[in-house]
Structure 1
Amino acid sequence: MLLLSMQLYFKGATLPIRKSFYLAAFLTATVSILTFAEPAGAQVFTRDPQAGGFGGGQAGGQAGGQRGMPDPSKIMRLDRDGDGALSLEEVPERMRERFDMIDGDGAGLIKEAELQSFFDRIKQLREQGGGQGGFGQGGGFGKRPGNVTPQSAPAPNGSESDAGATAKPYVPSFFSRFSTEQYEGSVKDIDYTDGVAPDDERRKLDIYPTTHANGAAPVMVMIHGGGWQIGRKDTNDLLKNKVPYFDREGWVFTSINYRLVPNATPAEQAHDVATALVWLRDHIAEHGGDPAQIHIMGHSAGAHLAALTAIDPQYLHAVGADTGLIRSVTLLDGAGYNLLEHQPTNFIIRKMYNDAFGEELEARIPVSPIHQIKAGASIPPFLITYVERTRSPEASEELATALREAGFSAETYQAPEGYDHGSINGDFGATDDPVSKRVMEFLNQAKSS
């Protein structure tokens, strides 16, 4: 009915206008299909709680998997330059928040096969999710080993939760920008500039206290990715598994925003990270955290910023601290550790790097983490994780080697076959996820050293 009305309304419009409008309508319809996973016990993607509709309800799992999925070939009509793939500039603004998740090979372009893979995984989640709570015991997200299942979450809004509670899977949303969960005790949008920029949403952080610590809890600080140009602290892929995982392990989890290119340089982004860390040092005890146990983790571009802030002391020095503030560093599938040697051959990725760092290679040295390593400095232990994709393994191993040769502790870990640039982040903390298990081994060792 809606499309019929649109056809009548635009009957007199030119063909390009009508085509553009229909494409916009298609993408808008997609939003209604691929919204977000509701809290445990809710009817997810459900029209009729008995018959299912989009999925969920008593019989909705199979029905949800069989209907309502977008056609990737139609989305590919956004390919304006005709190269057979979608660049960051070609996708709608809201889709950009999910770009890294869909771009399975991390090449900076979304191909039709990657869209199809993304939708196939959502369909699989729907088919697994019938019965109570829609996705109920569904199987998380990402190209990963089949035995990885969602982690049970700490109950939002004060309800009870334990290890046997219904799992709350990480259900990706193609267009949803941020998590809607309201975890008990969480504090959102804290100005970490202490009044310098109180209205700047890009310089705020969120805190998720733990209910499973004896005494002051260690603190994990998450630095999001997004090619230095997009991303935020509260997306589903960042929080859905990590918040319950770190809560259950007895850690306070925090997530920070930072200013984005072109409104800030990577050096200014690192300054934002350092400013947030100092705020946490001074205030985290008020939220049950131990200011002497601050650990940082970054994904993709966030991994570059985590490495830079931990290696180059100037950023923490500028805000009255030093790198001793950071107890450990975990990097999730970054590649921008050596900005001189690892030059992207893909035009889109190269443009992303040029937009962030400029085209003059020598000018990149001050923000190239590997070039800031100095023997005798105070650099915390690193765990550098990566997946099998272009540049990431070589860049990760090279950074680890440089750190070790300068006398610092650095370990590497390659995620198992089947993990990609998105799932190493989105699946972190899911039950049986080997990446988070390896990271927690590293963190437990780092916090006791």
Structure 2
Amino acid sequence: MTIPVFFLGWPTGEAALVVAGASMIDAARRGLRGDFTGRRGRIALALTATAWATLAFVYVRGARSQDSFEGPLRDTLGDDYAAVAAQERRRRPHGVLRTSWTRRRYVPRSNVIRYGPHRQNVADVWRRSDLPRDGRAPVLLQVPGGAWAIGMRRPQAYPMMAELAERGWICVSMAYRVSPRNTWPAHIVDVKRALAWVKENIADYGGDPDFVAISGGSAGGHLTALAALTPNDPQWQPGFTDADTSVVAAVPIYGRYDWFTGEGSGRPEFLGILQRYIVKKRFADHRDVYLDASPITRVHPDAPPFFVLHGTDDSIIPVQEGREFVEALTTTSTNPVVYAEIPHAQHAFDFFGSPHGHFTATAVAHFLDWVKATRG
């Protein structure tokens, strides 16, 4: 039931005003046709109005959730974070419809690049057109989600990348080889290859190769965390073992951090998918592969600063997985680990230009600006 629950709850939770608006237009059409006359019609209209009120409540609840994003940053990073956040100029959310067009503003055709030898090794370079080519702007690599089987870079993370681009960042939104056509570890190899490309080429676009962060949601959150915790690992850098694939910070969002636990809600089914479509090896015979691919087993004291976000109502990846990963990181890493748990948020809560999407974008920008400020 997790899939239908997600697809029913996601648009109504994150695009409530759009859903309500479409319903109102349809109700007006039906009213002009006379569908609401008589007792049954009035009952139908009352039920429809109740649905509108519910959607309005959902929207307002999301619009009041900013402290769930900013509070953990303030509590963990303290006064340094507050000083960085205070310097921003406030921007309103773009909205669901406007967000879908933001790429056109920041990605001309010349900024669609190829970072590797495979057909899927393409990326969009997001930057403001007035950004100086010698400015050494901070850089974010954005890794898309999609259950390691979709990996579409468009239109994922548009609110966040638009926010960062406006602040003078350069964002590289990548695609990668996906399953079942491709087999693990092709996915993480491509992420590493994209990082290597960024380090070698981003200066041509005005970026700083010495300040590269990484982010991604869902499967992209898994790949983000794994890449950040395994810099320069030769097993996932075939043919480019000498390339620097380290990052200064990581922001995994509603990610999957455990590929080996078989107990719990949805866990047997998830392991079955990995064995059949992604890894294509039996867990019982190749347990080391699944352990190596699990970010929770790769935590270490020198992990970069992390900002982990997860929704409490995530029906695809239960919030407990985010909590366990953060606990492992916090007890091991010597760098800051910030965890934002978003009440009532479904999987992919940052996808649209909703309040959750806007608050994710500004909170991530605050965290990354803090990392930049504290690195000097």
Alpha-carbon distance in 2 for matches of 1:164, 1:437: 9
Residue type of the alignment partner of 1:426:
F
Partner of 2:283: 360
Residue 351 of structure 1: CA displacement? 4.0
1:266 to 177, 181, 184: 184
In 1, the alpha carbon distance for the partners of 2:113 and 2:171 equals: 14
Partner deviation per Cα, 1:210-254 (whole Å, 9 max, x = no partner): 25767221111110101111131122x432x23321122211121
Counterpart for residue 183 of structure 1: 105
Whole-angstrom CA distance in 1 between matches of 2:8 and 2:91: 36
Of 438, 443, 447, the residue aligned with 2:363 is 438
Aligned position for 2:352:
426
Spell out the pairing of 1:190-269 with structure 2 (5 A cutoff): 190-193=113-116, 196-197=117-118, 200=119, 202-211=120-129, 215-235=135-155, 237-239=156-158, 241-269=159-187
Q: Distance in 2 between matches of 1:279 and 1:379?
A: 22
Q: 1:356 to 1:183 in 2, by over 3 A?
A: same
Residues 395, 345 of structure 1: CA spacing in aligned structure 2 closer, same or farther, 3 A cutoff?
A: closer
Residue aligned with 1:326, SS: coil
Identical amino acids, percent of aligned pairs:
21
Aligned to 1:404: 330
Which segment drifts farther, 355-364 or 430-439? 430-439
Give a deviation string over 1:16-75, Cα, whole Å, max 9, x none: xxxxxxxxxxxxxxxxxxxxxxxxxxxxxxxxxxxxxxxxxxxxxxxxxxxxxxxxxxxx
Give the secondary-structure state (helix, strand or coil) at the position aligned to 2:95: coil
Give, in angstroms, the shift of residue 447 of structure 1: 1.8
Whether the 8 Å CA contact 1:221–1:255 is kept in 2: the answer is yes
Rounded Cα–Cα distance in structure 2 between residues aligned with 1:121 and 1:397: 31
1:144 shift after superposition:
5.9
Provide the aligned length of Structure 1 versus Structure 2.
Answer: 305
Partner of 1:97: none
TM-score w.r.t. length of structure 2: 0.68
Q: CA deviation at 1:332?
A: 0.6
User: 2:350, 2:356 within 8 Å by CA — same for their partners in 1?
Assistant: no
Structure-1 separation of matches of 2:105 and 2:367: 27
Quote the residue 1:117 is aligned against.
12
Unaligned 5+ segments in structure 2 are 26-55, 67-88
Matched AA of 1:441: H
Q: What amino acid is aligned across from residue 104 of structure 2 in structure 1?
A: Q
Partner SS, residue 157 of structure 2: helix
Residue-by-residue CA offset, 1:265-309 (whole Å, 9 max, x unaligned): 332211100101111111111112111111100100001011111
- In 2, the alpha carbon distance for the partners of 1:295 and 1:311 equals 12
Matches within 5 A, 1:297-336: 297-313=215-231, 314=233, 318=238, 319=240, 320-323=242-245, 325-334=246-255, 336=256
Q: Give the AA of the match of 2:339.
A: Y
Alpha-carbon deviations, 1:415-449, whole Å to 9, x = none? 43232212234348x69933333322221122232
Greater helix fraction, Structure 1 or Structure 2: 2
SS at match of 1:327: coil
**What secondary structure sits across from 1:207 in the alignment?**
strand
1:69-108 residue pairs with structure 2 within 5 A? 107-108=2-3
Which runs of 5 or more structure 1 residues have no equivalent in the other structure?
1-84, 86-106, 130-138, 150-162
> Where does 1:283-294 land on structure 2 (aligned, <5 Å)?
283-294=201-212
From 367, 372, 383, give the equivalent of 2:307: 383
SS of the equivalent of 2:342 reads coil
Distance 1:445 1:117, change over 3 A: closer
> Does structure 1 residue 146 correspond to structure 2 residue 40?
no
Paired with 1:253 and 1:128, the residues of 2 have a C-alpha distance of: 38
1:121, CA displacement in angstroms? 4.5
> Residue 260 of structure 1 aligns to a residue in which SS?
coil
Deviations 1:114-158 (A, max 9, x none): 3883785433355899xxxxxxxxx9x989613589xxxxxxxxx
Distance in 1 between residues matched to 2:90 and 2:327, nearest whole Å: 42
1:367 shift after superposition: 0.9
Alpha-carbon RMSD across the aligned residues, in angstroms, is: 3.7
Deviations 1:182-207 (A, max 9, x none): 225534541101xx33xx0x111110
Partners of 2:167 and 2:329 lie apart in 1 by 29
Query: In the alignment, what sits opposite 1:93?
Result: none
Contact kept in structure 2, 1:143 and 1:418, CA below 8 Å: no
| Aligned residue among 279, 296, 304 for 2:214 | 296
The 1-side partners of 2:229 and 2:330 are apart by 13
TM-score by length of 1: 0.58
Higher relative contact order (CA 8 A, sep 6+): 2
Q: Secondary structure at the match of 2:139?
A: strand
Report deviation, 1:168: 4.3
